[in-house]
Amino acid sequence: MKLIMLGALGVVKGFIDAGDLLPDSLIMNIIGERLLEEACKTGFLLDGFPRINPQADALEGLLEKTSVELGFVVNLMRRLKQSVNVLTSTMK
């Protein structure tokens, strides 16, 4: 693991400990570093990311910058009522 990744983990922990969401810029930096590692040369999975259009735009720019191509994208959708039921059942 690169030194920059180790530093980023400390920054990430700070946000998590504070109960805050990670800024998109930090997420993009982490993803960008990871995509350049040997382990990602044969493929990678982004679970739950991107969630919103600005994240998708930033990811598209990052992929272009690093010359990484997506083979395919899977988008799973469910009804709002199902999501509410899952979320509220985990709170009990």
5 has a pLDDT exceeding 60: no
**Position 3 confidence tier, pLDDT thresholds 50, 70, 90:** very low
pLDDT on residue 1: 46
Q: Does residue 79 contact residue 49 with C-beta atoms inside 8 Å?
A: no
76 has a pLDDT exceeding 60: yes
For the chain, domains (ranges, CATH) are 3-90 (3.40.50.300)
Q: Could you report the per-residue pLDDT of 12-33, keeping only the tens digit for each?
A: 888 888 999 889 998 998 899 8
How many whole angstroms separate alpha carbon 55 and alpha carbon 24?
7
**Position 6 confidence tier, pLDDT thresholds 50, 70, 90:** low
First to last CA, the chain: 38
**Position 8 confidence tier, pLDDT thresholds 50, 70, 90:** low
pTM comes to 0.69
